Amino acid sequence: MTKKYTLNKMDSSSESSASKRFPQYLAALSVCLGSVAAGSVLGWTGTISESLQHSDLNGIPVDTDALGWISGFVTLGAMVICFPIGFICDGIGRKWACLLTIIPFSIGWALVIFSSGTLMIYIGRFLTGLAGGAFCVAAPLYTSEIAEKEIRGALGSYFQLLLTVGVLFSYVCGTVTTPKMLSILCAFIPIGFGVAFFFQPETPFYLLKKGDKEGALRSLRRLRGPDYDSEAELKDLQDQLDKSEQNKVSFSKALQTKAAKKAMFICFGLMVFQQLSGVNAVIFFMSMIFASAGGSIPAAYATIGVGVVQVIATFISSLIVDKFGRKILLIASAFFMAFSGTLLGVFFTLKDRNLVDEQTLQNIGFLPIVSMVIFITVFSLGFGPIPWMASSEIMPPEIKSTASSAAATFNWFLAFIVTRFYNNLASAIGGDVTFYLFAAITLVGCAFVYFVMPETKGKTSQEVQDILSGVRPGSADGKGIDNPTFKS
């Protein structure tokens, strides 16, 4: 007997009030424990770069060039997995795709722990980067499909929040332990993630896409609670899926639409400005930056302090992203990142070009820390979480998996360029000019967001597509309008 799914007479506000939010928060936090594992990979070199160069990891000699590759192989691994993980998510489900990453995480850390040469470290870092990169696609996809639109932004920001917790974990443990012990501690994080996330449900959308209506309904009831009209939401999801199937076209043909072109342009643009702000150079080499700047506070402790600020700022972002919206946070983030990068550049100009005496340098020795605190704070409020969130929110459904994977691949390619060649660039043109360059690019990003990025706060997927297409959402005639955000 076929169950009939019907809408009741509840309006959208009463539906939302009847739903339970706690199960959604719990599921999002559980999947994002994998982000802690990914963050620990990114932060691994943050405070142990000097120890690695002193051969403190199994007696393996590491020079500056090898250190660049140790950081670079993480981003290469993440870049390689971005396309496959999209197909894996569609093949075995969002949940099992996330759990599958425990394997490369574990093998990668084992290779680092028992390494006998730089080659084993490179392979281990590549595998852990591969696992971490998979979460950049799978975790935001999972959270976007389990969340109600009213809290979708907050849940989406948990990925970046838990990522910063993982970075801070590596900063702290790297300061108080050996590189080998740090690696052992990091190896336990993905195991803890697997235990916590194993009991969470698959996303209703994926189950419905696979034809499992009963499973999708059970998942919705678990995520929304027994008092919520899950059958109504299931019907809406089915309607979206049916519409998507009816309009199904090849990827190349789907890209011909106005909405798809704009979505791709926006997502790729956000990835450019996120990475070319220099953020990964800061995260991977923060201790080295502080050491080169000098100052009374030890570089490792200054790095930990900035890591703490990053976690706090990202947490604040999760609270305000659905109140202030994506666009204003991105603009403010880009502007103050450019300001802090310029401030750091000025300090290095004064120091490295001998424009002031030693006493003056000591008097302004606080500038590098202040600059990094501002940079990491505003990055965590805007350009950290929102570009990843945007890939899930503005891509048309028919190209979302492939296009999001392409954007993530591009992001990690840029991250590789920045992390691998940051030291070389700073040596060639100076640390000050390097940060001036990052600041200039970020300032362009501020203008890009203002003129190109649409606001997606509180909007359904269809409403976002209408805006990108230049159609007034919910208009009776359905005719296109000139959208001032996208004037030709």
Over the stretch 229-262, which tens digit does the pLDDT of each residue have? 878 888 888 887 887 777 677 777 778 888 889 9
| Whole-angstrom distance, CA of residue 470 vs CA of residue 485 | 9
| Whole-angstrom distance, CA of residue 48 vs CA of residue 420 | 17
| Whole-angstrom distance, CA of residue 259 vs CA of residue 265 | 10
Q: What is the pLDDT of residue 136?
A: 77
28 neighbors 143 (Cβ within 8 angstroms): yes
Q: Which of 24, 159, 144, 202 is nearest to 393 (CA)?
A: 144
Q: Which of 142, 74, 42 is nearest to 376 (CA)?
A: 42
**Percentage of the chain surpassing pLDDT 70?**
91
| Whole-angstrom distance, CA of residue 421 vs CA of residue 415 | 10
Q: What is the pTM of this model?
A: 0.76
Q: What is the pLDDT of residues 422-438, one digit of tens each?
A: 888 888 898 899 999 99
Q: What is the pLDDT of residues 352-367, one digit of tens each?
A: 888 888 888 888 888 8
Q: What is the pLDDT of residues 162-215, one digit of tens each?
A: 888 999 999 999 999 999 999 999 999 999 999 999 999 999 989 988 888 999
Q: What is the pLDDT of residue 94?
A: 92
Selected residue with higher pLDDT from 103 and 316:
103
Q: What is the pLDDT of residue 9?
A: 37
Q: How far is CA 285 from CA 43, 52, 279, 372, 420, in A?
A: 9, 13, 10, 12, 11
Q: Please report, as a single letter, which amino acid is at residue 408.
A: A
- Kindly state the tokens that stand for 481: 């309008």
| Whole-angstrom distance, CA of residue 249 vs CA of residue 243 | 12
